[in-house]
Amino acid sequence: MTRRRSALYMPASNARAIAKARTLDCDVVILDLEDAVAPEEKPAARDRVVEAVREGGSGARELVVRINGLGTPWYADDIAAVRGMGVDAVLVPKVSYPSDLEAIRVSLGEAGPPIWAMIETCAAILSLPALSQAAWGSRLTALIAGTNDLAKDMRCRPGADRTPLIPALAATVMAARAAGIVALDGVCNALDDPARFAAECAQGAMLGFDGKTLIHPSQIDAANAGFGPSEDELAWARAIVAAFAKPENADKGAIRLDGQMVERLHLAEAEAMLAR
């Protein structure tokens, strides 16, 4: 099973950053043509992405390109570039309605890459059930929380605990789970506050996200740790699998294990954790 604990944005305008991405321990590299690239640099950055993907060298990391959004002057050229590029997915900002997904799918073509959608507007949060239902037909495979833009759209003040955003974050996870797709938490801007970043990872994992989007390589290790199982969790998962494997428990729907009631749904969770 594919792990997506850490998804690192790298500016497509920076050739050295693209090269460095091939050496990092993140699960996903997102080559960014949107926020990280100045308008006058976007055509050259697009060409650089095409060349980088052609060169390869990403190894087991998933390679995703974030393009400029629908309605921007760069969207059509970005789509044309990524359509047959061979990337694992195309990340599209500010997807707010099922009609956006339909337009993107048409632009990419049926043979184009899967879609990852940024959920970063109030309209997107209110459309999450419809976006979830439209996932299969549009080949939407991931929802990415765009917490900075969402906070701006809400006019809220998230603070270190992100309290105003929690309902939206939880709704994003639920929509992803309903569609059977990936959910990634938003970025943390506090580069010089590792304790805050670790707390955001713990919060995101608690909410059910598969991983976190990152803005600096220094955040990779903490994200991999925060969204990966701990040794205690792995030991508990192995104990559950071993307990249900005993002949006397073969037909039981629930068993008692170390003072806890454990059901077969917990067995399925344990097996999935060990598979990852």
The domain ranges of the chain are: 6-226, 231-275
CA separation for the pair 75, 267 (Å, rounded): 45
pLDDT at 230: 82
Q: Answer whether 0.85 is exceeded by the pTM.
A: yes
**CB neighbour burial string for 46-71, b if at least 16 within 10 angstroms, e if fewer:** bebbeebbeeeebeebbbbbbbbbbe
Write out the chain's pLDDT in tens, 276 residues.
689 999 999 999 888 988 898 999 999 999 999 998 999 999 999 999 999 998 887 888 999 999 999 999 999 999 999 998 889 999 999 999 999 999 999 999 999 999 999 999 999 999 999 999 999 999 999 999 999 999 999 999 999 999 999 999 999 999 999 999 999 999 999 999 999 999 999 999 999 999 999 999 999 999 999 998 888 889 999 999 999 999 999 899 999 999 999 999 999 999 988 987
CA separation for the pair 183, 137 (Å, rounded): 18
CA separation for the pair 117, 154 (Å, rounded): 19
Cβ neighbours for 261, distance < 8 A, ≥ 6 positions apart: 254, 255
Cβ neighbours for 266, distance < 8 A, ≥ 6 positions apart: 240
* CATH number for region 6-226: 3.20.20.60
CB 161 within 8 A of CB 125: no
pLDDT at 1: 65
Helix, strand, or coil (residue 60): coil
Count the neighbouring beta carbons within 10 Å of the beta carbon of residue 152.
12
pLDDT at 273: 86
